[in-house]
Structure 1
Amino acid sequence: LAVYREHYLSHGALDSAMFPGIDVVLRTLHEAGLPMSTATSKPETPATVILDHYGLTGYFDFVTGASDDEVRSAKADVVAEALRRLEAAGHDVSRPVLVGDRLHDVEGARVHGVPVVFAEWGYGSPAEAKGTVASAASPLDLLPILLPDAA
């Protein structure tokens, strides 16, 4: 596992592709003053490498994911840690939203009462959207959902 992770960090992590429009969405949300954290199932180190590679890290207050030592790996635990970090930094976490594309995103957020916007462009199937509050066909479709007053 250690050899795989070493290879992934130096090669595989950078083979990922950025979804078209995600940079515009993140910049717009950041400029609107929305506090943001990732809540990824990826370990934090490779998640940070990927975000750095695409110049997206600065849009987030925190890069939260599974812990590199795998102590925090369940999605509900990752969501809890993201909320904890945001709150500890003084952000209002009374109305969080998680954007996700898999059933474990929906279930992990539900544990904390966090509504989910389903990312149709991601890797999940439509059946995994059950229990979400909204659905977005593309990253740009997130803007009127997350910033309704700006639409």
Structure 2
Amino acid sequence: MGKGNSDTRRSRVLFDLDGTLTDPFPGITGSIRYALERMGAPVPEADALRWCIGPPLPGSFALMLGTEDTDTLDRAVGFYRERFSDTGLFENVVYDGIPEMLEDLISDGFSLYLATSKPLVYASRIVTYFGLQRYFAGLYGSELDGTRAEKTALLAHVLDREGIAPQDAVMIGDRKHDLIGARANGVTCIGVTYGYGARAELEAEGPCALADTPEDVGVQVRAWAVS
């Protein structure tokens, strides 16, 4: 794959997980529906919950339950995790072409990092289960108490822990939250259109590029590295 990227400092690539590397639709929506049922709330069909994939869970439950009460939201998240931690996290599919794209980027000298709003305890199990962990120089996610669930705080943490200058990194994600977090930290961002964010949602945040396939992600990352 090309001549490699060892002669450029722009070589750090941060990846979102849900909707970017894997399709978590059955596990996330199934666990949300389980939580809503336990809370005695209306339970939408799974397809009506696609918007919940990506944003932090408490905010999504706040909208669905019509409350900002912390105790209520904590209960809902707790019910969600009852199902997700045992079953839902494995109801997931790696998008076609993802392993090949990650392998090619590493071969070209890029260092890859996972940066997901999902709690790290779950994210690490998912990438290990699907054989993706070996591609990453570091795995980063939120804490179970919600610390660093917002992408702005999470990416600031990654940059600090890894000693990465913002101009040397690019964030890859499928929702506006990924792009907003990147921009807030001075990091370039590439939006992927095959996940759960609409093209208009991504374009509104001013990414340097959009990628329609995992293969296209690799193309756009290489273009960013030499721009």
TM-score (norm 1): 0.88
Q: How many residues align?
A: 147
Give SS of 1:51's match: helix
Seq. identity, %: 33
Secondary structure of the residue that 1:38 maps to in structure 2?
Answer: strand
> Residues 117 and 135 of structure 1 are in contact (CA less than 8 Å); yes or no, is this contact kept in structure 2?
yes
Q: RMSD of the alignment, in Å?
A: 1.9
CA distance in 1, matches of 2:106, 2:172: 15
Counting only pairs closer than 5 Å after superposition, residues 1-150 of structure 1 correspond to structure 2 as 1-87=77-163, 94-130=167-203, 131-148=206-223
SS in 2 for 1:147: helix
CA distance in 2, matches of 1:49, 1:78: 19
Once residues 48 and 18 of structure 1 are traced to their aligned partners in structure 2, the CA distance between those partners, rounded to angstroms, is: 14
Is residue 35–residue 86 contact of structure 1 (8 Å, CA) maintained in 2?
no
| Conserved 8 A contact 1:136-1:142 | yes
Deviating more after overlay: 64-73 vs 106-115: 64-73
Higher alpha-carbon Rg: 2
The amino acid that maps onto 2:198 is S
Q: What is the letter of the counterpart of residue 121 of structure 1?
A: Y
**CA distance in 1: counterparts of 2:120 and 2:133, whole angstroms:** 12
Q: What amino acid sits opposite 1:60 in the alignment? A: F
Greater strand share, 1 or 2? 2
Q: CA deviation at 1:41?
A: 1.2
Of structures 1 and 2, the one with the larger relative CO (CA 8 A, separation 6+) is 2
1:12-53 deviation line (CA, Å, top 9, x unaligned) = 001011111011111111222312211111111111111011
Q: For structure 1, which segment, 104-113 or 6-15, has the greater mean C-alpha deviation from structure 2 after superposition?
A: 6-15
Letter in 2 for 1:49: R
Contact 2:115 2:139 in 1 (8 A): yes
- Mapped contact 1:41–1:66 kept (Cα < 8 A): yes
- Matched residues in 1 for 2:93 and 2:117: separation? 17
Q: Secondary structure at the match of 1:41?
A: strand
Q: AA paired with 2:180?
A: E
Which digits, 9 at most, give the CA deviation of each residue in 1:38-97, with x for residues without a partner?
11111111111110111001111111111223122111011112212321xxx6654100
SS in 1 for 2:220: helix
Paired letter, 1:120: T
- TM-score using structure 2 length: 0.60
Contact 1:75 1:104 in 2 (8 A): yes
Report SS of the residue matched to 2:169.
coil
Give the whole-Å Cα distance in 1 for the aligned partners of 2:188 and 2:131.
27
What does the per-residue CA deviation read over 1:129-148, in whole Å, with 9 as the maximum and x for residues that have no partner? 22100011100111222124
Runs of 5+ unmatched residues, structure 1: none
Structure 1 residues 92 and 80, CA, compared in 2 at 3 Å: closer, same or farther?
Answer: closer
